[in-house]
Amino acid sequence: MTYSIVARDRDTGELGVGVQSRAFNTGAVVPWARAGVGAVATQAFGERRYGYRGLELMSTGIPPADALAQLRDADDRAEYRQVAMIDAAGTTAQHTGGACIEAAGHTSGAGWAAQANMVDSQRVWESMGEAFESASGTLARRLLAALDAAQAAGGDWRGMQAGGILVVPAEGEPWERVVDLRVDDSDAPLTELRRLLDAAEAYRAISAGEQNREHIARDGRLRELDVRWAAVFDTLAAGDVETARMLLAPLLAEEPRWASYVRTLGELGRAPGAEALLD
């Protein structure tokens, strides 16, 4: 009832999953990933155990194929499942049960595995890998390109409703995320995912201190208030306290309680020199 792709970015080591389906809330079921461990897509008549236990097994060093075999052996409905796993080294394993609704199948390449069921044709899963390999940009962008290609090839023959993109860093704690986006109910979930990804990457640029705020603002990806605050802290980081104060003044005039926000950011080390803005 779904098409998805699991992948590893060979440059950053990030791991991720992209998924779209005509099933409500699919982004809460299909994609699983853990920093430094791997990623899993569990679909068709999806079973969350494959995601949770698959990551647990891979975290102990068990290869994806062996982890998947263990889970299949313990599942009396394995023939109704479709699962893909990838580990931190980019090794993949896949399973498409014989009882999955046609068209159903999977394919894989270097650092990725694509799968689909209840879709228009074999081209749906084939097109994902082709698009992923030819796409550029962040891992999340490449995953989205793969989903776009699958939809262009026919997608889920029932239509579209939900989707998600999950990306985790190459190393980190189990709860760390690079991108974690979900559309639960939409006539155009891939369009909405792209809007959310645009915003997510723009906000990430702000957190990283990248100097491209004006371009982002022109694209309409950030709310006007966020752009104003970015200008204050960019100017402060550049050492121009007077200009930063000038930019801050109208914000404080509109809402004096913003002063506590500035003070707290300074205390947390999130905005070095913030105290000077309030002198």
Tens digit of pLDDT for each residue in 16-48?
Answer: 999 999 999 999 999 999 999 999 999 999 999
Residues 6 or more apart in contact with residue 182 via CB below 8 angstroms:
27, 28, 162, 163, 164
How wide is the angle at C-alpha 150 spanned by C-alphas 149 and 154, nearest 5°?
115
Distance CA 154, CA 175 (A): 35
Supply the Cα-derived Rg of the chain in whole angstroms.
Answer: 22
**What pLDDT, in 10s, does the model give residues 104-130?**
999 999 999 999 999 999 999 999 999
Q: Is the dihedral of CA 19, 78, 126, 136 positive or negative?
A: positive
Domain ranges of the chain: 2-206, 223-277
The CA distance from 254 to 235, in Å, is 20
- The pTM for the full model equals 0.89
Output the pLDDT for position 222.
65
pLDDT of 238 above 90: no
Residue 187: is its pLDDT beyond 50?
yes
Task: Return the C-alpha torsion angle 185, 187, 189, 191, nearest 10.
Answer: -140
**Percent with pLDDT over 90 in the chain:** 80
Please provide residue 99's backbone torsions phi and psi, each rounded to the nearest 5 degrees: -95, 5
Which CATH superfamily groups domain 2-206? Aminohydrolase, N-terminal nucleophile (Ntn) domain (3.60.20.10)
The pLDDT confidence band at residue 205, using thresholds 50, 70 and 90, is confident
Report helix, strand or coil for 119: strand
| Cα–Cα distance list, 226 to 27, 203, 217, 232, 233 (Å) | 28, 9, 9, 10, 11
pLDDT band at 221 (very low <50, low <70, confident <90, very high): low
- 227: pLDDT confidence band, cut at 50, 70 and 90? confident
What is the pLDDT at residue 218? Answer: 44
pLDDT at 212 over 70: no
User: In this prediction, what percent of the chain has a pLDDT beyond 70?
Assistant: 94
pLDDT tens digits, one per residue of 58-112: 999 999 999 999 999 999 999 999 999 999 999 999 999 999 999 999 999 999 9
Q: What pLDDT is attached to residue 119? A: 96
- Neighbouring CB atoms inside 10 A of 177's CB total 14
Whether the CB-CB separation of 129 and 114 falls below 8 Å is answered with yes
